[in-house]
Amino acid sequence: MSSKATRASFGEALVELGQEFKNVVVLDADLSKSTKSEGFAKKFPERFFQMGIQEANMIGVAAGMSFTGKVPFLCSFGCFLTGRFDTIRVSVGYSNANVRLVGTHAGVGIGEDGYSQMALEDIACMRTLPGMAVLQPADDVETKQMMRFLMTHQGPVYLRLTRQNLASVNAADYKFQFGRGVQLKDGKDAVVFATGGVVANALEAAINLEKQAKSVAVVNIHTIKPIDKEIIQNWANKVNKFFTIEDHNVLGGLGGAVSEVLSELGKPVKLKRLGVQDVYGESGTPEDLYTKHLLDAPGIAQSLTKLL
């Protein structure tokens, strides 16, 4: 299985799209080496704008560029970008600007950089904005197909990417479909909805649980908004135990989105949200932090076993 950070896949796709689409422009807030937009900067310096440490200004500039026919990819750490929520709300959201807000370094998976760099509330913020799509790929192939989709999509998008490498979960012939969850594994006892950096771990945990005669399905939710209501309803007709797993605060993220749909279905379903349990992050290795928050495969398997 290949292993690559989705920020790296993003950087590679950005260069490919820049060669094909002359209206692609990239803006970065002094973090191009970390966000992986530096490849585009080297290849197309006339279409790359190093804005310095001034995210709010960068957001306004990107919105203005979008109204001239450009497709701006605006890059920073997710926590710094969504920390300018008020500017995003008016300049991008309310204006319905065709801007791609790219937030890297998502979740506790960034490791030693610590809480000040961790995006743990970003999904909750961004999905409250009308018309804002929220995307989080689970591996390399999904990231690159998602990037190509973004050249035809109209409207603002928040793209959430990892610092850490992720194992592949999708087949080579995978086809990205906006707003549609992807079933990675079938199951009879329960279903897990996972997103981003924890999808591979959730799949590994579910496969290992088969040895204990526990049959758990796994669904990759790459589009958190608009959420796939149909796949949630289909699973609510099959099983009465749901789990959501995310490297994000359990409040307001994927767990919140799935809860909202389930609450309106009127089905007798129990949902357990796994993730960062409404606490601030801390510094540590990515592996240790995933172990602490039960987001590695053994931790997920332990939680599922307990609740099943």
Residue among 276, 263, 306, 81 at smallest CA distance from 196: 276
55 is catalytic: yes
CA distances in angstroms from 279 to 28, 65, 223, 256, 272, listed in the order given: 29, 38, 25, 16, 17
Tell me how many degrees the CA angle 146-250-54 measures, rounded to the nearest 5.
60
Name the catalytic one among 38, 55, 204, 246.
Answer: 55
What is d(CA 81, CA 64) in angstroms, rounded to the nearest whole number?
A: 17
Token pair in block for residue 17: 């799209």
Please, are residues 31 and 55 in contact by the beta-carbon 8 Å criterion? no
Tell me how many degrees the CA angle 96-182-305 measures, rounded to the nearest 5.
120
Residues 6+ apart with CB under 8 A from 223: 133, 134, 135, 178, 179, 180, 181
Q: Which residues are catalytic?
A: 55
